[in-house]
Amino acid sequence: MGLRNIELRKLEEIIFKILMIVATVIITGSLAFIIVIIIVKGLPAMKLSMITQLPKGGFYIGKEGGILNAIAGSLMVAGGATLLSIIISIPVVLYINIYRKKRSRLANLTRFSFDVLWGVPSIVYGAFGFTVMLAFGIKASLLGGIIAIGFLELPIMSRAVDEVVRMVPSELKEATYSLGATKLETSYKVIVRQTFSGIVTATLIAFGRGIGDAAAVIFTAGYSDYIPDSLSQPAATLPLAIFFQMGTPFPEVQERAYASAFILTLIILVISITSRIIAVKITKHTIK
Amino acid sequence: MESKTHINVRNLNVFYEEHQALKDITLDIPDKKITAIIGPSGCGKTTLLKSLNRLIDLTEGVKVSGSVFVDGENIFNPGVEVTHIRKKMGLLSQRPCPLPMSIFDNVAFGPRIHGIKDKKELQNIVEHYLKETSLWDDVKDRLHTSASKLSIGQQQRLCLSRCLAVEPEIILGDEPTSALDPQSSLRIENRFRVLKDNYTIVIVTHILRQAKRLADYIVLLYCGELIEHGPAQEFFENPKEKLTKEYISGVIS
């Protein structure tokens, strides 16, 4: 009986190990698959002019030009939106964790709103942004895009920062307070420093989510063949550039759509790698 | 206040949700002596210690009644400036908890937030207080490396330096040697013996021998109640309460 039991448990162990390996392969494999697809399909269109030139006349029917407008526009929209979401989410998280007791009703209600906001589809943020813009008389513009994407990023950023701030050991707070530090000093001199790598990670997740979103910018940022030189001008974005190029009947333009997707993926990759390097350098003092 | 000591506890009750952790504690902590709060685990030792500098406020669901006077001021009064109370009292926690910054910045943190900006002055302060805990020679060549790289014993001495740098009048220690090796514990204990000439020291300890060899004044808590308190010698040699006798002889622990 004992022996059979062990055999059975061994079998169980093997089956579940295989299932876990399959799951891991699905995750890493799908990333590899996506990258391979966009490279293979986009390679013929991958020319330097794609990233150095604005679209020229007839670009969308296969003539000369590039998508510099969308690259620049996307970086501006997502950059501005990420900044906006940092400015709002960090104070919110510090407030519910440091100024209020972290399991208070207000704190839990705020966390609940993060969760609900997280689940709101991005097209709704677009529509919401559009309504607000109409009310204030703002046309589709860089500013509109920043606001809509900013709100889209907000719950992602806040939840990720909340996770790390909540994990700060209470001894660290006690040590800081016992030196006579105020809550504000404790927050930005100790808590932010202690959680810095988490904040960087949160920022990059939010940025990645923001730069890849198409639905929220359709009404709010508009589209333009030029790089906006003020907040009130419309801005092109990479997801929309991909969408427009993919929608044409011309194979060479569709190839450019894949090339654009590759550029977008590359941007996210570069940003995530550099921020990780920065985070490691800055957090050498972090208390384990 | 009729009493002239730094810290006077009057009818202090502390509740965690429904559980009463401290029951009607009234106590004067003698100045410039080492007071040890002893008693079995969960008897309210740490709660009492944390009530003295209002770190108790941070606990979820806590309710406090009664008063703690520090230099005649009831620190539980609504209008009290907490940071100012805490600046008077350094804290050493059970496990040393360096701030996420360099050794230098750890010691300079307090002085900086209290307004000292001059570099030379900060350097002097850091050197002085690191020497005070005999940590200076160990770390003088790596002041700008991370404090978390130090050994646990060194970290606790750093925490002591950091707390002294704020120039408190009172030092609170929550089982400050329990995470340390015997050698490091001894260093901290010896430091306390020197420091008590200038500071009022209150430590929580669950080690009876430590209380015996270190403390001048003993406070025994049991299930949130103050059982007996008095000068150490009298307390150990001539205990008045039955519970004290049992606790000292190890019948209850």
pLDDT digits (tens, 9 = 90+) for A137-150: 888 899 999 999 99
Q: Is residue A55, in this structure, part of any structural domain at all?
A: no
Confidence category of residue A3, pLDDT binned at 50, 70, 90: low
**Residues A72 and A11 both lie in one domain:** no
The answer to whether position A83 is within a domain reads: yes
Would you call B166 and A180 a contact, using CB atoms and an 8 Å cutoff?
yes
**Do A82 and A36 fall within a single domain?**
no
**Same domain, residue pair A108 and A250:** yes
Is A1's pLDDT higher than 60? Answer: no
Domain identity same for A22 and A94: no
Pairing of strands B34-38, B89-92: unpaired
Residue A159 resides in a domain: yes
With contact defined as beta carbons under 8 Å apart, do A53 and A68 qualify? Answer: yes
Q: A41 and A70 share a domain?
A: no
Q: A138 and A184, same structural domain?
A: yes
Residue in the block written with tokens 């410039």: B32
Q: Which residues of A touch B (CB under 8 A)?
A: 101-104, 169-182, 185, 189-190, 193-194, 283-288
Closest CA to A163 of A116, A198, A132: A198
As a whole number, the mean pLDDT across chain B is: 91
| Mutation site, B50, B70, B83, interface A, largest A CB count within 10 A | B83
> Is there a single domain that holds both residue A15 and residue A74?
no
Residue A191, helix vs strand vs coil: helix
> Which residues in chain A touch residue B101, judged by CB atoms under 8 angstroms apart?
193, 285
Distance from CA of B179 to the nearest CA of A (A): 14
CB distance A221 to A130 below 8 Å: no
CA nearest to B163 within chain A: A179
Residue A178: its chain B contacts at CB < 8 A? 53, 55, 86, 89-91, 163, 172
A17-24 average pLDDT score: 97
Which letter does DSSP use for residue B41 in this model?
A: T
Q: Using an 8 Å Cβ cutoff, are A93 and A158 in contact?
A: yes
CA distance B176 to B96: 8
Same domain membership, residue A86 and residue A8? no
Identify the residue whose tokens are 């194979």: A251
Q: Determine the 3-state secondary structure of B142 from DSSP.
A: coil
Q: Which of B55, B100, B162 sits opposite A174 (nearest CB)?
A: B55
Do A89 and A212 lie in a common domain? Answer: yes
**pLDDT per residue as tens digits for the range A193-218:** 999 888 998 999 899 999 999 999 99
Strands B62-70 and B200-204: unpaired
Residues A17 and A93 in one domain: no
- Give the ipTM of the model, two decimals please: 0.89
CA distance B243 to chain A (A): 33
Structural domain includes residue A130: yes
Domain assignment of residue A50, yes or no:
no
Residues A147, A12, single domain; the answer is no
Instruction: Show the tokens assigned to B150.
Output: 């130090």
Give the pLDDT band of residue B253 (cuts 50, 70, 90): low
Q: Residue-wise over A153-177: b if at least 16 C-beta within 10 A, else e?
A: bbbbbbbbbbebbeebeebbbbbbb
Q: Which residues contact A69 (CB under 8 A, 6 or more apart)?
A: A54, A55, A224, A225, A226, A227, A236, A241
Residue A54 forms part of a structural domain: no
| Contact at CB, B113 and A185, closer than 8 angstroms | yes
Q: Which domain holds residue A180?
A: 66-283
Inside any domain, residue A52: no
Q: Report the percent of chain B where pLDDT is more than 90.
A: 73
Rounded to an integer, the average pLDDT of A165-193 is 92
Place of tokens 């705020």: A110
Subunit contact B98:A287, Cβ cutoff 8 A: yes
Burial of A276 (0-12, 13-18, 19+ CB in 10 A): middle
Same domain, A212 and A268: yes
Sole residue written with tokens 């001539």: B238
Angle between helix axes A142-166 and A68-94 (nearest 10 degrees) is 40
Domain total for chain A?
Answer: 2
On whether residue A211 sits in a domain, the answer given is yes
